Structure formats: C-alpha cells, structure tokens
C-alpha cells in the first residue's frame, strides 16, 4: 500500500492507496505542534483503527507548503512506518513542464493538483483548489504548466470579516440559499459564497479569453470547492481527492 500525505496550511490530509484504489483518508491539523513521536503514534493509531497495519505500507510520498512541519513528519515516517518518503520538489519526476518565469516558486501542492488533473482528464485544463488560498493553475494540451493565479481563500475572507470588524460574528461557511439576505448571518454567508462564485467565474472567463484555450476543462478540488462547484456551471468537474491522486501518480513515475 502507498501512503500519500498532503501538508496544507490548515490540514494534513493522508490517503492510503491499494494500487489505484483509494482505501482510506484522514486528516490532522497542521498548526498543532507535534514531535515526530506524536506524528508517528497518531498515524499508526488512525491506520490501525481503519484496519491498516504498519507492515502494509510499502511507500510514502509527501507534498508540503509548510516547511516547519517537515522535520517531525519525515522523522515520524522513517521511524514508525520504516519508509524513506519521497518528497515532491526539485528533481522529482512529475511529467509536467513548468514554463513560468520561476518554476521553483510553484508550490508542491499546485504541481500535484496539476499532475492529477492532467493525467486524469487531459489538457488543456484549469485546476482550481479551494484551500486556505484559492488557486487557479493552467496546464495546456502539451502538459505545460503555463500560468497560475492566487487569491484569498474563502476562509481567509471569512476570518477577516469577523476578526477585523467589531460586531460581525463568526459564521458557518455555507450557501444561505439566496443572495437576498435578511439578517447578519445570511448576509455574511451570501457575501462570502456568492462573492467567491463571482470571482471564480470571472477568473475562468479571463483565463479562457487571454489564453485562447476556449475548450479547456475546469476541474476543482479542495474542502470548500463543492460549495462553489454546485452553484456554477463554469466548473466541469469537482474531484475531492485530486491532490491525493496526483501524489499517487507522481510516486508511480518515480518508483
């Protein structure tokens, strides 16, 4: 079995693959300080509770945008899972050709998403990831990563509302059902969700216009992506496990 680990700014998402089948996923909080022992024991417990033994894990791959977590996490994998993990970064085969001005600036998570979308759905493809930040990455038909857009994520916008204003409360991020809000809670939800939908549709439109790739597919992922995807017809596919699938594909290319 293959253990795939995606270290994001908010969560660490772990997937277990048996060949091409995703058997199990679980999450840990990124910002909770942990030693390598705490990481290792948490992973072993969660794997064991789901019927996966340490000896079942034959390989591990990690992508991360949080460098300060990596020392403890790598130590945990090496000690408790007895595997040397493959870290997504320079020198790792991805199958993508990054043609931006500075390829080293492209985050590992964005490369992984792009690989997953291109391998699964072909190109040209625009990959949207609704995470802590909302990212839009364009891969052409030749498998070239040609452009990326970064915007504040919906959680960042929500946090700014309730932390930087005196009277606005913390609210659940969900579609209130109508943009014609009747109270403070639904007015905030409407602004957050419909504002994100509007941003998403405009950026997709501008990418099509400036790239000339009118036929590109639009694939979305990320925790809050389903809320946005179900209320716009400009997103073709919502793939919840795209990042984990991308990690598996990269591991196979480097095995």
Residues labelled catalytic: 109
Q: Residue holding tokens 């789901």?
A: 50
Q: Are 81 and 61 in contact (CB under 8 A)?
A: no
Q: Residue holding tokens 């000896």?
A: 55
Q: Are 156 and 162 in contact (CB under 8 A)?
A: no
* Nearest C-alpha neighbor of 18 from the set 43, 48, 52: 52
Q: Residue holding tokens 């979305």?
A: 220
Q: Which residue spans within the chain are E strands per DSSP? A: 2-7, 11-18, 21-29, 59-64, 86-87, 97-98, 125-130, 133-139, 144-152, 217-221, 237-238
Instruction: Count the Cβ atoms, other than its own, within 10 Å of residue 248.
Output: 25
User: In whole angstroms, what is the distance from residue 84 CA to residue 147 CA?
Assistant: 32
Q: Is the dihedral of CA 17, 48, 30, 69 positive or negative?
A: negative
């Amino acid at each position: 079995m293959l253990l795939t680990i995606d270290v994001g700014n908010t969560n660490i998402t772990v997937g277990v693959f048996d060949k091409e089948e995703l058997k199990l996923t679980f999450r840990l909080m990124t910002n909770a300080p942990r030693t390598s022992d705490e990481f290792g024991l948490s992973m072993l417990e969660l794997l064991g509770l789901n019927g996966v033994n340490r000896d079942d894990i034959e390989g591990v791959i990690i992508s991360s945008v949080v460098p300060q977590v990596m020392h403890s996490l790598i130590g945990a994998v090496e000690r408790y899972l007895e595997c040397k993990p493959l870290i997504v970064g320079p020198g790792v085969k991805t199958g993508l050709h990054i043609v931006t001005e500075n390829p080293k600036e492209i985050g590992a998570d964005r490369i992984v998403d792009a690989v997953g979308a291109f391998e699964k759905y072909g190109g040209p493809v625009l990959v949207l990831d609704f995470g802590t930040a909302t990212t839009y990455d364009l891969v052409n038909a030749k498998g070239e990563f040609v452009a990326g857009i970064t915007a504040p994520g919906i959680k960042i916008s929500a946090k700014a509302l309730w932390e930087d204003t005196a009277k606005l409360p913390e609210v659940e991020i969900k579609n209130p059902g109508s943009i014609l809000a009747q109270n403070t809670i639904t007015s905030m939800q409407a602004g957050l969700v419909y504002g994100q939908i509007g941003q998403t549709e405009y950026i997709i439109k501008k990418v099509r216009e400036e790239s000339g790739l009118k036929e590109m597919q639009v694939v979305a992922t990320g925790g809050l992506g389903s809320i946005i995807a179900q209320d716009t017809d400009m997103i073709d596919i919502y793939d919840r496990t795209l990042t984990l699938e991308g990690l598996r594909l990269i591991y196979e290319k480097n095995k």
